[in-house]
Structure 1
């Protein structure tokens, strides 16, 4: 299946992580020119190196999502090399495990800026040229916690939830301009973030990581954690020309883990 991404410019935020890296590689394999952005420049450059080694087109961009002042200059660099952004994949880091109660106002502001405002501001920055071209994709990766709140991930559950309302509203505003906006939810996909959360849960509960992982696996109908590539394949389809009628949606890539309809 040709996804129609050849020559498109894709910006992947958080491209140095497990999900972001898989998405960047997959979009590049479909012919997109990928700007791999991450706060860790070395991680972004490693992703670019492997993409280029496979014959793809990519560039690395150091991007601190907590700093809104870097958006304009970073986009200018991308546009100079690849042209304006056609596909934006929003991936942010998650906050540390916490209760939702008793958090300081400073903590809420810190993670709101890096996890929510950064996504909105970057999307707003690329939207004018998408609308001008009558084609664009805004894809935001969040967490299964926005559907079924995850214990001890209070900040994440609350802040990521706001992105659902934003994305749904955005979809209604830009749909007639050929731009789609969708949210993708990972279940327990095997990344460093999930390993970290399993380790933290094991410490809290006085269990081994293997016991925690086994308990989580037992709650997943397909009987295993997901592969980042499986998540990336779904994102690539949403980014494609084939998905022009898919917008305002929340797509779960969770192996059936989320129990609600």
Structure 2
């Protein structure tokens, strides 16, 4: 299927690894001109090299989403080079595991700054160009914790869920401008983040990490963790011309993990 986005320009956040890297590779394979951002310059270079080896084009920017002055200056650089970004993939790293209580105000503020305010702020800076050209795609990657809160991920559960209300509200505001706004919810996708969380749980419960992974996989209808490229394919479709009538939606890519309707 031709997604009809060749020649478009996309900015993918946290593209240095995991889901962000695979999303960038998938979009680049569709002929999209890629703009990649991450706070880890070395990891970003690895993604960029993979894209270039496959024949794609990309530019890299290093900034920390918890530092507004960094990403604001970074977006200005992106716009100077690209002119307009057509596809924005809001993807952020997750906060450390822990309960929903007992954190300092500073910890909560940092989580909200990096995972919510940065997403909203970056979108606000790129949205005018999309509305002017009457075409745009805003896709925000969250977590299955926004549907069914995950044990010991209190910071993530509490902060990410606010992005659902924001995204749904924004979708209605810009739909007639040709801009779609959607949320994608990953389940247990096999990334370093998932390995880290499994290892943390294993240590917390005094169990082997392999046992934790097997137990987690057994709770998924498909009986396995998802592959990053499976998630990236869904994001690519939502970024495409083919998905022009999909907006205000929350799409689960979880292999049937979440039992609720």
**Cα offsets for 1:55-88 (capped at 9, x unmatched):** 1011111021011122343223223333311100
1:56 partner SS: coil
Which residue in the other structure is 2:181 paired with?
A: 181
Distance in 1 (alpha carbons) for counterparts of 2:4 and 2:31 = 8
Distance in 2 (alpha carbons) for counterparts of 1:178 and 1:50 = 32
Distance in 1 (alpha carbons) for counterparts of 2:218 and 2:17 = 26
Which residue in the other structure is 1:216 paired with?
A: 216
Does the Cα contact within 8 Å between 2:10 and 2:34 map onto a contact in 1?
yes
Which residue in the other structure is 1:113 paired with?
A: 113
Which residue in the other structure is 2:163 paired with?
A: 163
Which residue in the other structure is 1:77 paired with?
A: 77
1:63-142 aligned within 5 A: 63-142=63-142
Structure 2: runs of 5 or more not aligned:
none
1:24-43 aligned within 5 A: 24-43=24-43
Which residue in the other structure is 1:256 paired with?
A: 256
Which residue in the other structure is 2:47 paired with?
A: 47
2:35 partner SS: strand
TM normalised by structure 1 equals 0.98
Q: Give me the CA root mean square deviation.
A: 0.9
Q: Is 1:151 the counterpart of 2:151 in the alignment?
A: yes
Does the Cα contact within 8 Å between 2:91 and 2:141 map onto a contact in 1?
yes
Distance in 1 (alpha carbons) for counterparts of 2:166 and 2:82 = 28
Structure 1: runs of 5 or more not aligned:
none
**Cα offsets for 1:102-158 (capped at 9, x unmatched):** 221111111100010000000000000100010101100000000000000001001
Offset at residue 35 of structure 1 (A): 0.6
Distance in 2 (alpha carbons) for counterparts of 1:189 and 1:73 = 32
In the TM superposition, structure 1's runs of 4+ consecutive aligned residues that sit over 4 Å from their partners are none
**Cα offsets for 1:172-214 (capped at 9, x unmatched):** 1111101111000110000000000000000111110011001
Which residue in the other structure is 2:196 paired with?
A: 196
Distance in 2 (alpha carbons) for counterparts of 1:175 and 1:47 = 32
Which residue in the other structure is 1:62 paired with?
A: 62
Does the Cα contact within 8 Å between 1:45 and 1:59 map onto a contact in 2?
no
Does the Cα contact within 8 Å between 1:65 and 1:118 map onto a contact in 2?
yes
Which residue in the other structure is 1:243 paired with?
A: 243
1:140 partner SS: strand
2:58 partner SS: strand
